[in-house]
Amino acid sequence: MHSIFGEEPLKNREMAKTCEVTGKKAMVGHSVSHSNVKNKRRFYPNLQVKKFYIPEKNKWITLRVSADGIRLINKLGISAALKRAKDKGFYQE
């Protein structure tokens, strides 16, 4: 599928707001006012669209990752983090 601009669209942007490395997604809670009135709201993960270089495959990939996911990639390395995410079902190529 191509966009009207000719480039391949980022498949992750059509999906839910979910981190592809950690699986974090929006959760539901309350906004609580000073008078203790509770209103439903959603807490979204801190998602960033980032490009990562995979030296084993000699290519760049674009991921939608949370700040926690970026820290995990820095700690484990991109290949190990993607392998873990694939095993848990958060990432598919």
- Would residue 36 be called left, alpha or beta, if left means φ above 0 and alpha means ψ between -120 and 50 degrees? left
Question: What global pTM score does this model have?
Answer: 0.77
Say if 93 falls within a structural domain.
Answer: no
CATH value at residue 28? 2.30.170.40
- Confirm whether 81 is domain-assigned: yes
pLDDT-derived band of residue 7, with 50, 70 and 90 as boundaries?
Answer: very low
80 has a pLDDT exceeding 70: yes
* Range of the structural domain that residue 72 is part of: 11-88
Q: pLDDT band for position 11 (50/70/90)?
A: low
Residue 5 resides in a domain? no
Q: Is residue 4 part of a domain?
A: no
Q: What is the mean pLDDT of residues 55-59?
A: 94
Is a pLDDT exceeding 90 seen at residue 2? no
Which pLDDT band holds residue 91 (cuts at 50, 70, 90)?
very high
Q: Is residue 84 part of a domain?
A: yes
| DSSP 8-state secondary structure symbol assigned to residue 82 | H
> How many domains is the chain built from?
1
Domain assignment of residue 42, yes or no = yes
Residue 53 lies in a domain: yes
Sequence-ordered strand ranges (E) for the chain:
27-32, 38-43, 47-54, 59-66
